[in-house]
Amino acid sequence: MAVSIDDIKKLKELTGVGLTDAKNALVEADGDFDKALEEMRKKGLTKAEKKADREALEGVIDSYVHGGRIGVLVEVNCETDFVARTDGFKEFAHMIALQVASMSPVYVSEADIPAEEVERVREEAKNSDSLAGKPAEMIDKIIDGQVKKHFAEKVLLSQNYIMDDSKTVEQFLKETIALTGENVVIRRFKRIELGVND
pLDDT tens digits for 124-156? 888 777 777 777 778 788 888 888 888 888 999
Q: Are 50 and 44 in contact (CB under 8 A)?
A: no
- 5-51 matches 58-108+154-193 in fold: no
Q: What is the average pLDDT score of the chain? A: 85
Span 12-65, pLDDT tens digits: 766 666 677 778 888 888 888 888 877 776 666 545 555 566 677 899 999 999
pLDDT of residue 99: 97
Torsion of CA 54, 171, 168, 10, to 10 degrees: 140
Helices H / strands E in the chain, number of each: 8, 5
pLDDT of residue 52: 60
Gyration radius from the chain CA atoms? 21
pLDDT of residue 84: 93
CATH of domain 5-51: 1.10.8.10
Q: Which residues pair with 72 in a beta bridge?
A: 64, 191
Burial of 72 (0-12, 13-18, 19+ CB in 10 A): buried
- Report the alpha-carbon distance of residue 177 to residue 78 in Å, rounded: 9
Instruction: Indicate the domain borders of the chain.
Output: 5-51, 58-108+154-193, 114-152
Sheet holding 58-66, edge to edge: 58-66, 70-78, 185-193
- Report the alpha-carbon distance of residue 30 to residue 139 in Å, rounded: 49
Q: Are 104 and 191 in contact (CB under 8 A)?
A: yes
CATH 3.30.930.10 fits 58-108+154-193, yes or no: no
Tell me which range, 18-22, 41-45, 99-103, 182-186, is most confidently predicted by mean pLDDT.
99-103
